[in-house]
Amino acid sequence: MSFNNLDNLYRQVIMDHYKNPRNKGVLEEGSLTVNMNNPTCGDRIQLTMKVEDGKVADAKFEGEGCSISMSSASMMTQAVKGRNIEEALKLSSVFSDIMLGKEYEEDDLDLGDIEALQGVAKFPARIKCATLAWKAMEKGLKEEEDSQ
C-alpha cells in the first residue's frame, strides 16, 4: 500500500472515531473520574473508569475538542478496557513514544486503531491533542494504584 493510501486510511479511521465515538458517556458510582484540559487549543475531557481486580473493567469519556483529541479518547477507551493496570500504562507509554516519533517495535501489544494516530508526530502542536485522554488515563490509574 502506498504512503498516500495509508495516510488516507488513517484519516478515515480518525474521522470515524470522531464522528462515531466509542465509549462516550459517564460511568456512575464507584468509578474513577479524571478531568483534564489542554488550554492551548481548548480540548477538554472527563474520563471515568471502573477498575475491578486490577483491571480496567470499563472506561468512558465526555468532552469537547478537535478531531484528534476526541478520536484519540475513543481509541484509548477501547484499547484499555479489559487490560490490567500495568498493561494499560505500558500501552500509554508506547503511545507517548509514538507521538515523539520513536519507532514502535512490534511485540505482543496490539495497537489496533491507535496506529492511525502515528502521523500526529509530524505536527508537534497537535501532540498534546492526541495525548490528552492518555494522560488522564495514566493519572487515574496511578491514583488507583497509590490508593491500594
pLDDT digits 0-9 by tens, 54-66: 999 999 999 999 9
Contact (CB, 8 A) for 39 and 92: no
- Going by C-alpha positions, the residue among 104, 78, 108 that lies closest to residue 93 is 104
Q: What digits encode the pLDDT tens for the residues 69-122?
A: 999 999 999 999 999 999 999 999 999 999 998 877 766 677 889 989 999 999
Distance CA 96, CA 44 (A): 19
pLDDT at 103: 77
* pTM recorded for the entire structure: 0.92
Q: 92 or 10: which carries more pLDDT confidence?
A: 92
